[in-house]
Structures are given as structure tokens and as C-alpha cells.
A and B are shown apart, each in its own frame.
Chain A
């Protein structure tokens, strides 16, 4: 399977266009970690279990994303700086349909 391209705006506002593999069961949070787009310890604190909101991001493109699970809804209800387009990066699996996705990392909290 092929890589897709996604754009991630880091917490300093810098835009990064990165290749994301679709065949490694990765999610957006893990992509941010693998490209070191946020300092260690500031993203993925719960390892991707929808339990910390450190991976919150704003979805800026019009991609159709999987529906939020109850856990994701509940975590976002406790997170800070939440907007209508907020999602947990760890809950967005990289699939070919997400080619061109653009997200911005929410502020650290």
C-alpha cells in the first residue's frame, strides 16, 4: 500500500507536509510523534487510549472521518481549548481516504 500525504500544523504554527503510511496501523498522534512535531511527553501521554487529550487536533480539511466513539466524546468533553472541529489524533487511523488531510495541533494543556 502507498503512503498518503497529510499536513500537520505544529503548536508553533509551522506547517509540515509529511508522508504517512497506510499499512502500519498508525494514527495521527503516532505520525506526529514519529516526525517529532511536538516535544516528547507533550503528545500521546496515554499511549493512544483516548484518556489524556494530549493529541487533540483541529481538523481543517473536509475529509470524512470515522465517527467519534463514546470514549473520544467523553475525553473531548474534559479537554481544554475544544472547538467544533476538535478530534483526538490517536483516534484517527491513517487510511488511503485521508490523503490530503490537514490538521492543527491544539495547544498543550
Chain B
């Protein structure tokens, strides 16, 4: 069981900045994210795009913003459960919550901050009628363990970076790799496209374009896919079919936690502290809604700051806390580090 003061669901910019604000109040944080890396939409959708409306940064790449946030929260040593989706929440008799992920990891905290953005990122599934039947029986949307494909016939579908990169990688592992894409052009990094071309010339990757997989066959598990090219359909025997069409956010299990939901977002009390209808559970950043809500990074930061003050009072009902400026109070990390403004020296002039 992982124990912490504030359990944050979602390691996007809002979740990450919460660690800092909580840290100033000496509260420990742990973050859960379905993605294998921190940064939320900034890292997953647009890491190389510049953002122009972060106060005091005339321009900053989304990826850089996340790197900076990670550096800023380092002294507060947050814990991370990455690559797992928060699935269930249970309130205990002592008032704490236990959040369990889809992989069974359990976390306990007196305060839960949902910073889930547009939801957890889930693979986009191609509209093949019987695809669900073969999930985990030869159809995988995410490659977790490449060894699974050793000496197997693998068909990959997609035209972006992950389809190209995994096709390249699996040539050294699988018996055969076939890459199917609806166009002759790919939109991945130029060197990946060139590498696939080279492997195709060497006969290590079979490229089928312009084409798409329209059906899957097999009794227990995938035995073949049907490929449509130029109006003709043919069978392609394989052990695995890996559609790599990117990820799309879905609110997912959080929608069933008994929270008040409006337009795919969690209703909160923004006149006070961004608490949901369940005391002790807050919702901040893109995932919440209230009159006038704007889905902007800066709003997430603001909401995180106010929420932490309220969380502090919840955790320490008998203590009074007065907000301090970091300029005056400095930043004291849990790792023993201390940052503070240098004191002005007063020296007598003789």
C-alpha cells in the first residue's frame, strides 16, 4: 500500500504543480497516471509546440514546460505510479480513501486530487467489428513486452511514428513484420521512414500500401487478418495484429465514482476550494467544470494552489496556516534542500 498526504490522479501540468504547492505546506504527494510519462496533454499531444500564454514565458515548448515543472517539484520527492489507470476509489472508516489502479496497485490518502484532464489516454481502436474478441488474444494496441513477439508473424497498422518505430524494432525479434498503411506516405520522423524503406529493400519488412485491415479471423486467437487494397480483399496469416493509431483521452472509470458530472467534466465548488460533491475529493485543471471555466494551464495552476490550502485544513483541522511568499519563506525540500533569498548584509561604513 502506498501512503501519502495528497494522492493526485493525473500527472499533467496541473497535477505536477500541485506537488509544489503541497510541498510548501509540508504535504507529501503521490501521482498516478495512465501514461508511461508525466506531462499529460503537453507531453502526449504537443511536446514540440510552443505555448505563448504561460505568465513570464513569452514562449516555451510544451515539453520544456513539463521538464521545468519536474525540476521545480524535485525537492518535494513525489512518488509516481505511471502506466496505470486509477480504477476504483473506496472511502475508509477513518475518512481516508483507497484508490486502486487497473494493475491492482493500492494507494491510501486523506485527500484525493483529481487532475485527470480530458481523461486517461486510451488507444484508438479501428472500427473492425470483431476486434474486441481478439484483445489480448493476438490484438494489442500498446506494445508492453516486445519479447512476446519473438519468432511470431506480426502485422502492424498505422502511419505515424509508433507504427514505424515498432516495425523497425520488431524486425530483430519477430519472424516476420508486415506494415499496413492507408497511404504510401508516412508521417513519422524522416530517419524512421528511411529506415523502414531500407528494411523493406532488405526484405525484412513487408510494406502493404495503400491498404487497410478490415477483418480478423481465428478461432481462439488471431490467425489472420483480411487486408483491403485497391478494392480487393486478401488474407494475411499472422499471430499478432497491432493497430497503432494513437491515443485519445476518455474520462473513463472516474465517471463512475459517484461524482457530479456535467458535460464530461467534474462539477466543483469554485467559490471556495474546487472540492467535488464528495468531501475530501477535489478536481482541478481541465477535468473540472464551474461557471466560466477555462481549460488553460494557468487556470490549472491557480486551482491547484487554492485546493492545497483547503487540503491542508482538512488534514490538519487544528492548525492554522498563513500563506507565505516563497521569496520570504524560501523553499524547503523533503530532501533536506533549502532555497531562500540571500539576506542583505548590513555593514558599517567606517
**Footprint of B on A, CB under 8 Å?**
36, 39-42, 45-47, 49, 51-52, 54, 71, 73-74, 77-78, 80-82, 107, 109
In the complex, are the beta carbons of A74 and B119 less than 8 A apart? no
| Residues of the B chain whose Cβ atoms lie less than 8 Å from the Cβ of A81 | 127
* A71 CA to B49 CA, complexed, in Å: 15
- What does the 1/0 interface line of B247-268 toward A look like (CB < 8 Å)? 0111100000000000111000
- Closest A residue by C-beta to B251: A41
Q: How many A-B residue pairs have CB under 8 A?
A: 59
Known A42-B264, A77-B185, A78-B182; 11 more pairs at CB < 8 Å? A36-B263, A40-B263, A40-B265, A41-B118, A45-B118, A45-B248, A46-B45, A73-B183, A74-B159, A78-B245, A80-B126
B181 within 8 A of A: yes
Would you list 30 pairs from A and B whose C-beta atoms are within 8 A, ordered by A residue? Answer: A36-B263, A40-B263, A41-B118, A41-B250, A41-B251, A41-B264, A42-B264, A45-B118, A47-B46, A51-B45, A52-B45, A52-B248, A54-B248, A74-B159, A74-B185, A74-B187, A77-B181, A77-B185, A78-B158, A78-B159, A78-B160, A78-B182, A78-B246, A80-B124, A80-B126, A81-B127, A82-B182, A107-B127, A109-B125, A109-B127
Q: A50: shortest Cβ distance to chain B, in Å?
A: 10
* A81 CA to B212 CA, complexed, in Å: 12
Known contacts A78-B160, A80-B127, A81-B127; A45/B182 CB under 8 A: no
- What does the 1/0 interface line of B49-68 toward A look like (CB < 8 Å)? 10000000000000000000
Q: Would you list the 4 A-B pairs with minimal beta carbon distance, nearest first?
A: A74-B187, A77-B183, A40-B264, A40-B263
* A109 CA to B48 CA, complexed, in Å: 25
B249 in complex: contacting residue of A45, A51, A82, CB < 8 Å: A45
- Closest A residue by C-beta to B126: A80
Interface residues on chain B, size class? 20 to 34
- Closest A residue by C-beta to B265: A40
In the complex, are the beta carbons of A49 and B263 less than 8 A apart? no
B69-124: which residues lie under 8 A (CB-CB) from chain A? 118-119, 124
In the complex, are the beta carbons of B185 and A41 less than 8 A apart? no
* A92 CA to B251 CA, complexed, in Å: 28
| Residues of the A chain whose Cβ atoms lie less than 8 Å from the Cβ of B158 | 78
B125-165: which residues lie under 8 A (CB-CB) from chain A? 125-127, 158-160
Q: B190: shortest Cβ distance to chain A, in Å?
A: 13
* A21 CA to B185 CA, complexed, in Å: 36
- What does the 1/0 interface line of B38-51 toward A look like (CB < 8 Å)? 00000001100100
- Closest B residue by C-beta to A71: B187
In the complex, are the beta carbons of B159 and A77 less than 8 A apart? yes
In the complex, are the beta carbons of A109 and B263 less than 8 A apart? no
* A73 CA to B181 CA, complexed, in Å: 13
| Residues of the B chain whose Cβ atoms lie less than 8 Å from the Cβ of A52 | 45, 246, 248
In the complex, are the beta carbons of A109 and B249 less than 8 A apart? no
- What does the 1/0 interface line of B234-251 toward A look like (CB < 8 Å)? 000000000001101111
* A54 CA to B245 CA, complexed, in Å: 13
| Residues of the A chain whose Cβ atoms lie less than 8 Å from the Cβ of B264 | 39-42
